[in-house]
Amino acid sequence: MSADSNERLPVKLSLPLAYQQDLFHELRSEDELVVLARGLGLLRIVTNLLHSYDAAGGNLIVVVGATDRENGWIGEALAENAAISASPLARGLSVVNTDVMTVGTREKMYARGGIFSVTSRILVVDLLTSLLDPEMLTGVVVLHAERVVATSLEAFILRIYRERNKIGFLKAFSDNPEPFTTGFSPLATMMRNLFLRKPSLWPRFHLTVAQSLEGQRKAEVIELEIPMTDAMRDIQNAVLECVEVSMKELKRANTGLEMDDWNMDSALHKSFDVIVRRQLDPVWHRVSWKTKQIVNDLTILRGILQSVLSFDAVSLRRYLETILATNAPPPGSNRQNQSPWLFLDAAHTIFDTAKRRVYTGTGDGKGVQHGLPDGLRPALEEQPKWAHLAEVLEEIERDIYFNPPIYDGSNGTTLVMCGDESTCRQLREYLQTMHVYPDDQNEGNDERESTLDTKPSATYMMRRKLRNYLRWKKDFAKVSASLFAENQKALNSSTDPRWGNESYRGKAPPNKRRRVRGGSATVSGPSRTANGSIQITEDQASHVAELLAEVQPTEAETKQKHEIAMDPLEDMEDYYELFEVNDLVIVHPYDGDMDEYILEELKPRYIIMYEPDAAFPRRVEVYRSSHSDRNVRVYFMFYAGSVEEQRYLSAVRKEKDAFTKLIKEKGAMSVTLTLDGKGVEDPQEKFLRTVNTRIAGGGRLAATAEPPRIVVDIREFRSSLPSLLHGRNVVVVPCMLTVGDYILSPNICVERKSVKDLISSLKDGRLYHQAETMQLHYKNPMLLIEFDQNKSFTLEPFADMSGNTTSPPDLQSKLVLLTLAFPRLKIIWSSSPYQTAEIFEELKKNQHEPDPVKAASVGLEEGEDPTGQTFNQTPLEMLRKIPGVSEGAARRLVLEVGSLVELSNLEVEEVNALIGGEAGRQVWRFFNRSVFD
Amino acid sequence: RSAPSAILVSPRQKGNPILTHIRSLPWEYSEIPADYLLGTTTCALFLSLKYHRLHPEYIYSRIRALAHKYLLRVLLVMVDIDNHEASLNELAKTGLINDLTLMLCWSAAEAGRYLELYKGMEHATPTAIKSHAAASYAESLVEFVTTPRSVNKTDAVALVGAFGSVRAAVNARPEEIGLIAGWGEKKVQRWTSTVGEKFRVRK
């Protein structure tokens, strides 16, 4: 810490509130873990802290755990602060985030000093290779401290840092208190991982925080509780019913598990599928196919739950149809192996109601009045929030008109905040077109003409969406025809003219034909297939055509189209363009800490929270309190009795509970931390190792002062094993390896596979290839099958196995094939990374130490540069999934073709030239085959 | 020695419950150095960890008897105790020194199945694990698109359905993809950056 108080004086900080200043001074004086409530501006404190060091100059500080967006934000804020303080020494933030930067560049950058944000995987390698000498560091700042669990990379980094550097500072930050409260004395464990003694907790109800936010005039908040339409409520209830049934099914199938939390309460919470998934995780590779299916269903159901509130009726219908097409069971399958929710009446309600919101079929009288007994009429239900939004905007306009704003430092801007970009798009379009009406020639609508001028409506937008939907539907029928041919066969038969309105499905045996009473009434809504699952009834082609004609753009609509360049795509690049004519209303999605920036930048007088968000009201509070001269009025919209409301309330409650628990634990926590922690070598152990008394079997007497060494592939630093090896005083040498993951000795080469990797790499042939090369280059190739800590240590599925060897090859039989093909390949079974570390130590005894240089060169072609062998994993994985791409072809393509985009645009001849005729054609066809035919 | 069609079992294994689980293939007793003979060059030793804890020297005597015979020497270990770590560490080392391939099983039924599999696939070619298993176009398409994290099957079909072909989907602009229901910004960003990303990281 070279920056003393004298140097700090000229630094200008942007921390106007009392709690921010308190926190900052606390942080300057000691190392601690700061847990701040969401929305209270954690990053602002971090950037100010960094700036104070930055401005002093001569520091080398590393920021660990920042995301890309946070990097951008910190960088900008630092530059801004530097400009304000006019400090000549500030260098701003340097980001080291991909392997693109060479080792040389990185070394030079580190030598220059300053503030660095480094990706953990790169940082750990740089620290181990002493490219970045831990002793040179002034300090480390850890963001997202809740992620620093014992086996994480961040914990590894901190251990290396503390092992070599005991004087540098270490400050950790988190604005997510919940993870600190699960498990046994979680805070104390976390503190140990972080090598910190003092937690500093800042909930919203903290005295200083409350005072600084509530001291002066508070922001004006108007809550608008908006009722859902009946159809929306029906869908929501039906989805919840499906969730309940799926949960019951899960409980029945997995009786041995702790499932007290699996109730409807948690189902309302944002991530109930994640919770269930986490509960099942220990046994994930053993649970039955059906359980996996249900967990998957829960994710889908959660998606629907959210979409009901945020999508418009037409988009929702479209989304549901896609879901159904991908999840509908193929005809002929039975209930036993399908998603149970699709068989419920509730599922019927979901699809049926969603459809009725878009257009209604016959039977409701409207059609008859229209002179078309069995036609379809667009219903186009609007989201209730739209009208309220329009109303609020009108009110604001009136307010501005009648009470002309006195100058108070804020712009007259109205800011509309909503959940995501697509909702933004929806709202923008609505606001643009709410006063556009199609010229309705239908006599039935005459009376509406009178009210035209005053009432905003989404008719125009919805009609446009419906047109797109109908067009899309035609294409989509073809898509699912070519992808899910079986399903479609059943579907098509329903539109077969011979059968008219009967909902007979193709696969049912003729004598079991189900005639549905009331013929024409069944045209709308899904009905059931022979096996009882939901199937969308196709509307007759003629009806669809009519509907399409019905919503053809009227004169007024076409006129409108030219005026406002309706294609939202054009506006995306710089969407401020869109509001040039009327920059009073800005629609923006919630964006975490960036929202603060938006508020500061726009200085809005009116804010409409279209969807609830737990952190945003606090940001407004902070914004309001930071500027005594600005007035803000907030409209807070939510659907009454909706999931949205529940979720908001539970988020607020959960955070509060978490803080209460943390405060309790902090009070009772015993502070017995040694700053050194583990990982610092005990001199006695060092001595014992040099005189290795185990000379069993006439082995060599290893009397070496050299600590054991393991060469580890750089890509392996994603796993926790290198960290644990390091913790056991093994020297971990990071290297770019072509063959194997861990080199234990000149002869022993280990390929590590988690169970998940094992399954996938056996499936796509990667493991076979890896075993082949290992066998070629090493005397003792080994496959390490590593189970997760806490996961059940067995491959055996819950379902019983038939002794039938002709059934499709399962994991066991593939393993048998592998060992038969490679008799020399040895298998290490390990129940956890901890055990693996022990086994490695055992295997290394009485063996020579591996040579990193040699290990790195193994498997490379003559003259090949090992550094050219770094690959991006996900695109590579995708490449391997393409039919026709063998391991060899993949290697070839990776070298010759830049990316998947480039590969997709190659002509068939070019691909042929690279990987040969048959495979080339396959690849080309994969990309170019049209799903429409 | 010509390979018999049955699994040869050493009389030492008499009474072992796993024998009752060898159902799909015939087996007979025969005087062999190993416990099970599963092919001309493949043999297996069976070890229950419970027994190993009581008689740690047993397995070493059996290994010694095996000498250097057979190409693939499987050590079939049944994990029937809870604190298996120490024993497994030791066996991993033993396997390395004595050229034994360790296979773990957790029940007699699974052990029986392994024996059947070894015998049944004696002459099988490793095609099942050598290259990508052939799948239908829809399957491989869905697999391809769902590789990046958080993209699910519904998203995959919606994406390709909206653009018509994989090629168009790969080349689509992020704004276009964002219009599809279910594709939020994060998903879109992850997808476009993954397909556009260079396979090789150039330094």
Which CATH number do you get for residue A134? Answer: 3.40.50.300
> Which residues are A60's β-sheet partners?
A114
Q: How far is A821 from chain B (nearest CA, A)?
A: 7
Taking only residues 22 to 61 of chain B, the set having a beta carbon closer than 8 angstroms to any beta carbon of chain A reads 22-24, 41-42
Number of domain units in chain A: 5
In this structure, which amino acid lies at residue A657? D
Compute chain B's Rg from CA coordinates.
26
The reply to whether A303 and A416 lie within a common domain is no
The verdict on a CB contact (< 8 Å) between B129 and A830 is no
Crossing angle for the helix pair B153-163 and A459-483, nearest 10 degrees? 100
pLDDT over threshold 90, residue A495: no
The reply to whether A859 and A790 lie within a common domain is yes
| Nearest CB to B107; choose among A422, A589, A796 | A796
The reply to whether A286 and A197 lie within a common domain is no
DSSP conformational letter for A65: S
CATH code assigned at A399:
3.40.50
Poorest-confidence range of A352-361, A581-590, A674-683?
A674-683
What are A702's two structure tokens?
């290893």
The reply to whether A319 and A407 lie within a common domain is no
The verdict on a CB contact (< 8 Å) between B179 and A422 is yes
Q: Judge whether A527 and A513 are in contact, CB under 8 Å.
A: no
Crossing angle for the helix pair A289-310 and A272-280, nearest 10 degrees? 170
Task: Tell me which of A318, A342, A357 is where a domain ends.
Answer: A357
The reply to whether A37 and A184 lie within a common domain is yes
Task: With respect to residue A509, please indicate whether it lies within any of the assigned structural domains.
Answer: no
Task: Tell me which of A357, A392, A418 is where a domain ends.
Answer: A357
Indicate yes or no: pTM above 0.90: no
Neighboring chain A residues of B109 at a CB cutoff of 8 Å = 800-801
Burial class (CB in 10 A: 0-12, 13-18, 19+), A906: buried
Residue showing tokens 């909702």: A423
pLDDT (tens digit per residue) in A838-852: 999 888 887 888 888
Give the CA count within 13 Å in the CB-facing half-sphere of A741: 21
Poorest-confidence range of A44-58, A550-564, A698-712, B40-54?
A550-564
Number of residues that make up chain B: 203
Number of residues that make up chain A: 933
**What range defines the domain where residue A556 resides?**
384-444+453-467+552-639
Is B3 near chain A, with CB under 8 Å?
no
* Predicted local confidence at residue A365, as pLDDT: 41
Poorest-confidence range of A485-499, A612-626, A683-697, A813-827?
A485-499
Helix (H) or strand (E) holding A780: strand A780-786
The verdict on a CB contact (< 8 Å) between A768 and B126 is yes
Taking only residues 88 to 147 of chain A, the set having a beta carbon closer than 8 angstroms to any beta carbon of chain B reads 98-102
ipTM of the complex, rounded to two decimals: 0.87
Q: How confident is the model at residue B51 (pLDDT cuts 50, 70, 90)?
A: very high
Neighboring chain B residues of A696 at a CB cutoff of 8 Å = none
The reply to whether A718 and A751 lie within a common domain is yes
The reply to whether A208 and A61 lie within a common domain is yes
| Nearest CB to A322; choose among B24, B131, B157 | B157
Residue showing tokens 């919630």: A590
Q: How confident is the model at residue A649 (pLDDT cuts 50, 70, 90)?
A: confident
* Predicted local confidence at residue B141, as pLDDT: 84
Compare A230 and A866 and report the one with higher pLDDT. Answer: A230
The reply to whether A252 and A292 lie within a common domain is yes
The reply to whether A426 and A564 lie within a common domain is yes
Q: How confident is the model at residue A504 (pLDDT cuts 50, 70, 90)?
A: very low
The verdict on a CB contact (< 8 Å) between A867 and B203 is yes
Taking only residues 638 to 677 of chain A, the set having a beta carbon closer than 8 angstroms to any beta carbon of chain B reads none
Report the C-alpha gap between A250 and A243 in whole angstroms.
10
pLDDT (tens digit per residue) in B90-127: 999 999 989 999 998 888 888 888 999 899 888 888 87
Task: With respect to residue A804, please indicate whether it lies within any of the assigned structural domains.
Answer: no
For A743-752, b where at least 16 C-beta lie within 10 A, e where not — what string? bbbbebbbbb
- What mean pLDDT is reported for chain A? 75
Neighboring chain A residues of B203 at a CB cutoff of 8 Å = 99-102, 867-868, 870
Task: Tell me which of A865, A882, A908 is where a domain ends.
Answer: A865
Helix (H) or strand (E) holding B73: strand B72-78
- The mean pLDDT value for B53-58 works out to 92
Q: How confident is the model at residue A15 (pLDDT cuts 50, 70, 90)?
A: confident
Compare A153 and A291 and report the one with higher pLDDT. Answer: A153
pLDDT over threshold 70, residue A514: no
* Predicted local confidence at residue A396, as pLDDT: 83
Neighboring chain A residues of B71 at a CB cutoff of 8 Å = 823
Compare A738 and B202 and report the one with higher pLDDT. Answer: A738
CATH code assigned at A831:
3.40.50.10130
The reply to whether A686 and A779 lie within a common domain is yes
Task: With respect to residue A510, please indicate whether it lies within any of the assigned structural domains.
Answer: no
Report the C-alpha gap between A596 and A135 in whole angstroms.
36
* Predicted local confidence at residue A330, as pLDDT: 58
Task: With respect to residue A475, please indicate whether it lies within any of the assigned structural domains.
Answer: no
By C-alpha distance, the chain A residue nearest B153 is: A326
Taking only residues 831 to 860 of chain A, the set having a beta carbon closer than 8 angstroms to any beta carbon of chain B reads 831, 835, 838-839, 842-843
The verdict on a CB contact (< 8 Å) between A768 and B129 is yes
CATH code assigned at A884:
1.10.150.20
Poorest-confidence range of A585-599, A695-709, B115-129?
A695-709
What are A584's two structure tokens?
């009073």
* Predicted local confidence at residue A80, as pLDDT: 85
Taking only residues 421 to 460 of chain A, the set having a beta carbon closer than 8 angstroms to any beta carbon of chain B reads 421-422, 425
DSSP per residue over A324-338, as a string?
Answer: HHHHSPPTT--GGGS
The verdict on a CB contact (< 8 Å) between B152 and A483 is no
Compare A349 and A570 and report the one with higher pLDDT. Answer: A349
The verdict on a CB contact (< 8 Å) between B129 and A868 is no
Q: How far is A755 from chain B (nearest CA, A)?
A: 14
- Number of A to B CB contacts under 8 A, please give it: 294
Q: How confident is the model at residue A404 (pLDDT cuts 50, 70, 90)?
A: low
Task: With respect to residue A491, please indicate whether it lies within any of the assigned structural domains.
Answer: no
Q: How far is B150 from chain A (nearest CA, A)?
A: 11
Taking only residues 168 to 197 of chain B, the set having a beta carbon closer than 8 angstroms to any beta carbon of chain A reads 170-171, 173, 175-176, 178-179, 181-182, 184-185, 194-197
Task: With respect to residue A741, please indicate whether it lies within any of the assigned structural domains.
Answer: yes
Task: With respect to residue A696, please indicate whether it lies within any of the assigned structural domains.
Answer: yes
Sign of CA dihedral A8, A11, A12, A15: negative
Neighboring chain B residues of A821 at a CB cutoff of 8 Å = 126, 129
The reply to whether A264 and A397 lie within a common domain is no
Q: How far is A554 from chain B (nearest CA, A)?
A: 25
- Which of helix, strand or coil describes residue A226? strand
The reply to whether A876 and A857 lie within a common domain is no
Taking only residues 275 to 314 of chain A, the set having a beta carbon closer than 8 angstroms to any beta carbon of chain B reads 296, 299-300, 303, 307, 311
* Predicted local confidence at residue A40, as pLDDT: 86
Task: With respect to residue A334, please indicate whether it lies within any of the assigned structural domains.
Answer: yes
The verdict on a CB contact (< 8 Å) between A826 and B96 is yes
